[in-house]
Homo-oligomer: A and B are copies of this chain.
Amino acid sequence: TQQFRITLLPGDGIGPEITAVAVDVLKAVGTKLGIQFDFTEAPIGGCAIDATGNPLPDETLATCRQSDAVLLAAIGGYKWDTLPRAQRPETGLLGLRSGLQLFANLRPATILPQLIDASSLKRDIIEGVDIMVVRELTGGIYFGQPRGIFDANGDQRGVNTLAYTGSEIDRIGRVAFEAAKKRQGRLCSVDKANVLEVSQLWRDRITALAADYSDVELSHMYVDNAAMQLLRWPKQFDTIVTGNLFGDILSDAAAMLTGSIGMLPSASLGSSGPGVFEPVHGSAPDIAGQDKANPLAQVLSAAMMLRYGLNQPAAADMIETAVDAVLNQGYRTGDIMADGMQAVGCKAMGDVLLQAL
């Protein structure tokens, strides 16, 4: 039997309850396929602040580094929103990304036929949408120096720096071309090259890479236009590659096109070392601990972990098939509930998943 060390980072809000479901599903799949998971839990975000004062304790990062993959749930909540930035849950997340050098963030936005009516877009616009946003995750304006709030002649001046090197762009570009190759073969690079020098460099480097990927059709789009095109005719997109900030905005927009972000997983990968797999949705503090959360994005994140982090495609398929089955059987948590469907809570959704397996 194969053996994998998995670090669980349940985090805050609904994180622990959805993680519990994902762990049960992983165990069940492991038993079937002869894979053994050794789970180690560690604190991150608000719960880590409460316990240690630090949103990313050194031991948490060390535990992650020693594992084969990290399954993260969600961090943050009202309680920590007014703390200084260095002590905020988000800072722990950013520290995890840079600490593990997770430069490539893969965010699929896929319409599930069973949930098509959840979208705010018309059926013919949204039907069949299947977009992969490849977001650079450890560079750009999130991490650029100098940064801060400074005194300037009696006024205040806030400064952040957007910076990318050519090799950072090439690195994420290659991940995106490879992803596009395995998908429909179309890659759209999003930038603001008509205004920003960084985007000009971005466009030049991505364009140069295209020579190595003759089977991928490359296009370029300005970010403002991309935001429009995503909601005008999303089917025009296959794979999108973009920087950290634009990727933050566009991947969330793409996710919301589906109308059911409680269903969407994501993967953050480095060139070596463990990847981090997590749902796109947040920690939903308002429903935490009430057994109302939708665990499916977390379960699908576990599937992404098996596929992209542990190279276990059969196990990933098994989980995705089970999710498809419970949706076909009509089971729905509150966030995706619709007429004629069977309402279930978080735990019950886990139970029907286990049955489907």
Contacts and interface: CB of A to CB of B under 8 A. Distances in A.
A295 B235 CA distance: 29
A318 to B, nearest CB: 31
Interface in A112-165: 120-122, 125, 141-142, 144, 147-149, 152, 155-165
Contacts of A157: 163-166, 201
A195 B142 contact: yes
A349 to B, nearest CB: 23
A126 to B, nearest CB: 8
Contacts of A142: 195
A355 interface: no
Interface stretch (A1-9, A254-262, A301-309, A320-328): A254-262
Contacts of A149: 197, 200-201
A144 B144 CA distance: 14
Interface in A240-270: 245, 248-253, 255-257, 259, 261
- Most chain B CB within a 10 A radius of its CB, from A90, A141, A200, A231: A231
B94 A147 contact: no
A225 interface: yes
A192 B245 contact: yes
Interface of A: 85, 88, 90, 94, 120-122, 125, 141-142, 144, 147-149, 152, 155-167, 192, 194-202, 205, 223-225, 227-228, 231-233, 245, 248-253, 255-257, 259, 261
